[in-house]
Amino acid sequence: MNPFKLINEPGNRLPALVILLLIVLLPGYAWHTDTSGFLTDDGMYLMLADFFSPYREGNVLVEHFIASRSRFPPAFPVLIGLLGGGSRSMPVAHLVTAACFVLSSLAFFVWARTTLHAAHLAAASLLSYVLLPESLFFVLEIRSEFLYLALVFTAFVLLHRASESEQRRREVLLAAAFVISLCILTRTIGVALFGAFVLYLYGNRINNKSLYISVVACLPIAWLAIKEISGYSGNYTEDLYRYLEPQGIARLLTNDIPRNALLMLQAWPKQLAITPGSPWIVQTLSFALLALGVVGAIERTARKCVDAHYLIVYLLLVIVWPHPFHIPRLIYPLIPLMLVYGFIGARIVLSVASKRLTSWAHIVIVFAILVLIYPKALSIIERYVAPLPGHIPEDFRHTRTWLNTADIDGAQRNVETKKTVIELLKRTQNHMRMHECMYAVHPVSAILYADRLAIMVPPDPSMENLTSCEYLFVMNLVGEFKAKYPLESVDRKRLTLVDIAYDSRGLQQAYLFKIKR
């Protein structure tokens, strides 16, 4: 296929321009030199990339400590490591994330055009996906969502081709099975696509089902076997299995499923950056878009489409997911799907009202999406180009901390606090020996920047429980914890102050204590 001929096809020029702009602009937007998000994922993926990298030797104690406790599947950190990224080469890791965003955008457009049978609607879907606030934030962090979405939409396209044509169906199905296997190795929730694939095989009476199922299962089973042999425990599949054991069914039905269902519903407007304080018309519009997406999903389900089966299995997994704080993030990969379903739903609803209105369906839905996501996308871009204080490194411009804090003064204070905490973490190497460890409320971030072992502060942080590590790291940048936690819960007489970090205003932002024995 001639790519230039494809670009010149009617309706393809806008998405081609969007993809080209992503390729040109994303490297600068996503660029980091030696900082990353203060989230578990960023640090885990970077240090797992060190573990899998064939190019360099790092702190073996740290790498094996992280690998032995990680619940994350290996595909994304393996990709980062093979391409030269890791905790000591963060720019490469961030460029890999940006490249995955471009690939996911391209795969999404191809699937959207196949599904909507209209290039202009697929282009509108693509533009909406790119401008989603969480898309603009995730591309600044080390996240596996974009690789996962690229694989999901590639699988959809392959399965659509297998359904439409007998030609080389076996090879196409084998390719789809391999892609689905990689999905599971990228994000555990990828088992939803496996479930949809099994329904597809049986619903379409495909021969050699066991072959395709085996291709999907071989890599995840091999990975689990390697973890078991290596003595590395922990994955989200085990968490889910333990959570669904018979003794938990009553709690699941009466408490957890209703709680998760409410969190899923609340996650929808949050993904569009709509808060409870947003105007009622905007909130109403967001749920109207959701309702249209549901109509589109029902239509796709009635036609036995694999993407609709995937949506159903995915939602069933999320509604019983054992970690409720993951749910808003788990909803993000469904947003592109629901955008396309929204177009389908609008077409159906408006055609029922009047066939003359059908041609206006896409105008209505595009307007609704732009009203919902454009203000937040614009505010992110405006903050991105706003000047940073002179004492704050340019790196922090490319962080959610800078871009998502409501007022610019607060953003400056937050990025300075983060900078101060990171500086002290890096200095801990001067105080701690290689084999020593510290307690911290964000142990993964502590390990990432300190290159020393760290574990979570115990739920009861009394001195009697602080027996595993020699040091205690305390900071103001604590997320869900109270500032300077757990200083108020421990006996200060049994702590020796080793180092302290001040910001430019002279405020104390982080401390390193030695625990007296």
pLDDT at 11: 61
List pLDDT tens digits, range 201-230: 999 888 899 999 999 999 999 998 888 888
Q: Which helix (H) or strand (E) holds 440?
A: strand 437-440
List pLDDT tens digits, range 317-348: 999 888 888 899 999 999 999 999 998 998 88
Greater confidence (232 vs 125) lies with 125
Buried b vs exposed e over 182-219: b needs ≥16 C-beta within 10 Å?
A: bbbbbbbbbbbbbbbbbbbbeeeebeebeebbebbeeb
**Residue 233: Cβ within 10 Å count:** 12
Amino acid at 108: F
List pLDDT tens digits, range 136-192: 999 999 999 999 999 999 999 999 999 887 778 899 999 999 999 999 999 999 999
What is the average pLDDT score of the chain? 86
C-beta separation of 23 from 102 below 8 A:
yes
SS3 139: coil
* Cα–Cα distance for residue pair 415/421, rounded to 1 Å: 10
Amino acid at 396: F
For 247-313, give the secondary structure using H, E and C. Answer: HHHHHHHHHHHHHHHHHHHHHHHHHCCCCCCCCHHHHHHHHHHHHHHHHHHHHHHHCCCHHHHHHHH
Q: Is the pLDDT of residue 10 over 60?
A: no
